[in-house]
C-alpha cells in the first residue's frame, strides 16, 4: 500500500514538473517571438515586361536580434540559356532568395515603385512555425521551383508560406459576383501596354477565358493584398480577428519613366494591313490577274505564326494549350507556298483555299468562346473576302 502511495506521489511530482517545464518553454517562446514581426510586402508594377503585374514578398523582422529580411520568391536570371523560350513553354525555374530589407526596398525606390506593408496578426506559435518553414524552404535543395505565372508564382508562394502555417482558418469573405477570367486580369495590368497585351492574347488560349474563383485571382499581388486587408482569422470558439493588424507604405510611390512605344495600336495596324489586302485584291480584279508574291507572303506569315501556336500545345502552361486562333493562323499554309507561286500548282492551291476559308469561318465562330488578339478579326475578314473572291473568279472563268 505504501509503495502505491509513493508511486502515485512520484507520478504527480513528475506530472507537475512536466507542466511547469512546458509552461516555461511556452513562456520563453512567447518572449522570444514577441519581438518578431512578419509582414506581407506588395510592390507596385513598373514598366518592364516581367514587372507589369507587380511583386510580392515577405518581411521577417526581429527587433531584439536586429534582423530585418525580405523573403523573395521571384529570383531569376536572364543570363540562363534560352530564357524566353523556356518561359513561353513553362520550363522556367525561379528561386527563393533572402536579402536585407533595406536593399530590397532600395531597388523599388530607384524604379519609382511603391512598397506596401501589411503587418500580420500572428501568434507566437504561428511566427515560429513560419520562421522554421522559411528556413527549411531556403535549403539549397528546396529553394528552386518550377515557375508558372498563373498557378505557382512569387505571390502564390508567399501566400502559401503564410496561410498554410496558421493554426486558425483564414476567411477572405466574398468579393463580388463579377465573373473574371485570367485574360481579364492580364488586360487590366497591360492597359497602358497594348502591344504586350496583344502578344499575351496571341499566346493565351480558350482556357484563359474561363471564369476563375477568388483564390485563383490571388496570383496577382494587388488582389492578394486586398484579400489580406479584409481577411478574418477564425478561432475554434467562433471568435474572429483581422489578419492584418496595420498597413502602410514603407516605400512611397515615385515617378516612373515610361518607355516610348510604337505609336500605332495593334488594332490600327491590323486594320491598315486588312485595307491594303482589300485594295490589292481590287486591283487584281480590275487587271484580271493574281499577285502571287502577295499570296506567298500571306501564307508564310500565317504559317509561321501557326507554328508558334502549334508549339504551345506542348507548353506546361495550361492556358495556352487550346488556342482557337490556330484555325486562322494555320501552320499547314506553309505547305502551299510553292503551289501559290507556280501555275502548275494552281489547282492544289485552290483546293487548299477552300479548306482554309472553311477554317476561317470556324475561327469566327470560335470567337464567341475565346477572346482573340486585338485586330486579328479584321485581318481574317480581309483574307476570307480575298480568297472567297479568288475562288469565285476562278470558278466563273
Could you please report the per-residue DSSP string of 157-211?
A: HHHHHHHTT-SSEEE-----S---BHHHHHHHHTTT-HHHHHHHHHH--GGGGSB
Q: Quick check: 37 pLDDT over 80?
A: yes
Q: Rounded distance, CA 77 to CA 91, Å?
A: 13
For the chain, domain boundaries? 31-175+214-251, 266-396
Q: What is the pLDDT of residue 11?
A: 45
Q: Would you give the end-to-end CA distance of the chain in angstroms?
A: 121
Q: What is the pLDDT of residue 12?
A: 41
* φ, ψ dihedrals at 231, nearest 5°: -70, 150
What residues contact 311, with CB distance under 8 A and at least 6 apart? 89
Q: Are 244 and 228 in contact (CB under 8 A)?
A: yes
Based on its alpha-carbon atoms, the radius of gyration of the chain, rounded to whole angstroms, reads 30
Q: What is the mean pLDDT of the chain?
A: 87
Q: Which of 109-113, 278-282, 336-340 has the least mean pLDDT?
A: 109-113
Query: Cell numbers 536580434 correspond to what residue?
Result: 65
Q: Quick check: 135 pLDDT over 50?
A: yes
Residue range 182-207: average pLDDT? 92
Q: Quick check: 17 pLDDT over 50?
A: no
Residue spans of alpha helices (H) in 83-178: 83-88, 101-111, 124-137, 154-163
* φ, ψ dihedrals at 92, nearest 5°: -90, 135
pLDDT band at 259 (very low <50, low <70, confident <90, very high): low
Residue range 116-121: average pLDDT? 96
* φ, ψ dihedrals at 70, nearest 5°: -110, 125
Of 314, 313, 332, 333, which Cα lies nearest the Cα of 323? 313
pLDDT band at 122 (very low <50, low <70, confident <90, very high): very high
At CB < 8 A and 24+ separation, what contacts does 305-308 make? 305/202, 305/329, 306/330, 306/331, 306/332, 306/333, 306/334, 307/331, 307/334, 308/203
Q: What is the pLDDT of residue 373?
A: 96
Q: Are 96 and 75 in contact (CB under 8 A)?
A: yes
Percent of the chain with pLDDT over 90: 69
Residue range 10-15: average pLDDT? 44
Q: Give the CATH architecture of domain 31-175+214-251.
A: Alpha-Beta Complex (3.90)
Q: Rounded distance, CA 70 to CA 175, Å?
A: 29
Q: What is the pLDDT of residue 239?
A: 83
pLDDT band at 32 (very low <50, low <70, confident <90, very high): low
CB-neighbour burial class of residue 270 (10 A; exposed 0-12, middle 13-18, buried 19+): buried
Residue 318: CB atoms within 10 Å: 15
Residue range 72-93: average pLDDT? 72
Q: Quick check: 5 pLDDT over 60?
A: no
Instruction: Report pTM.
Output: 0.85
Q: Rounded distance, CA 151 to CA 189, Å?
A: 17
Per-residue pLDDT of 276-293, as tens digits, reads 999 999 999 999 999 999
Q: Quick check: 35 pLDDT over 80?
A: yes
Q: What is the pLDDT of residue 82?
A: 62
Amino acid at each position: 500500500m505504501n509503495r502505491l502511495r509513493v508511486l502515485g506521489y512520484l507520478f504527480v511530482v513528475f506530472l507537475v514538473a512536466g507542466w511547469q517545464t512546458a509552461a516555461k518553454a511556452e513562456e520563453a517562446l512567447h518572449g522570444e517571438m514577441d519581438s518578431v514581426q512578419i509582414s506581407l510586402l506588395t510592390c507596385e508594377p513598373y514598366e518592364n515586361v516581367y514587372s507589369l503585374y507587380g511583386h510580392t514578398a515577405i518581411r521577417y523582422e526581429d527587433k531584439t536580434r536586429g534582423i530585418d529580411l525580405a523573403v523573395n520568391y521571384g529570383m531569376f536570371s536572364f543570363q540562363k540559356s534560352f530564357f524566353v523560350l523556356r518561359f513561353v513553354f513553362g520550363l522556367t525555374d525561379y528561386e527563393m532568395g533572402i536579402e536585407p530589407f533595406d536593399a530590397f526596398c532600395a531597388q523599388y525606390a530607384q524604379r519609382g515603385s511603391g512598397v506596401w506593408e501589411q503587418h500580420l496578426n500572428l501568434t507566437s506559435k504561428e511566427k515560429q512555425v513560419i520562421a522554421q518553414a522559411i528556413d527549411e524552404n531556403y535549403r539549397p535543395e528546396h529553394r528552386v521551383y518550377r515557375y508558372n505565372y498563373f498557378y505557382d508564382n512569387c505571390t502564390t508562394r508567399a501566400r502559401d508560406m503564410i496561410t498554410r502555417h496558421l493554426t486558425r482558418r483564414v476567411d477572405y469573405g466574398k468579393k463580388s459576383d463579377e465573373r473574371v477570367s485570367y485574360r481579364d486580369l492580364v488586360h487590366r495590368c497591360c492597359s497602358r501596354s497594348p502591344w504586350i497585351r496583344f502578344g499575351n492574347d496571341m499566346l493565351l488560349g480558350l482556357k484563359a477565358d474561363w471564369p476563375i474563383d477568388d483564390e485563383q485571382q490571388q496570383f496577382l499581388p494587388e488582389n492578394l493584398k486586398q484579400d489580406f486587408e479584409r481577411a478574418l482569422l477564425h478561432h475554434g470558439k467562433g471568435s474572429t480577428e483581422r489578419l492584418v493588424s496595420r498597413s502602410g507604405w514603407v516605400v512611397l510611390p515615385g515617378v516612373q519613366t515610361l518607355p516610348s512605344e510604337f505609336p500605332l495600336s495593334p488594332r490600327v495596324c491590323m486594320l491598315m494591313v486588312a485595307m491594303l489586302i482589300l485594295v490589292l485584291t481590287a486591283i487584281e480584279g480590275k487587271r484580271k490577274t493574281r499577285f502571287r508574291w502577295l499570296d506567298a507572303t500571306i501564307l508564310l506569315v500565317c504559317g509561321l505564326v501557326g507554328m508558334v501556336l502549334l508549339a504551345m500545345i506542348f507548353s506546361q502552361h495550361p492556358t495556352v494549350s487550346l488556342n482557337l486562333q490556330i484555325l486562322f493562323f494555320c501552320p499547314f499554309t506553309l505547305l502551299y507556298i510553292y503551289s501559290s507561286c507556280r501555275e502548275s500548282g494552281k489547282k492544289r492551291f485552290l483546293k487548299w483555299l477552300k479548306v482554309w476559308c472553311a477554317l476561317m469561318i470556324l475561327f469566327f465562330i470560335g470567337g464567341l468562346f475565346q477572346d482573340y488578339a486585338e485586330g486579328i478579326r479584321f485581318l481574317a475578314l480581309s483574307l476570307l473576302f480575298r480568297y472567297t473572291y479568288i475562288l469565285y473568279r476562278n470558278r466563273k472563268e
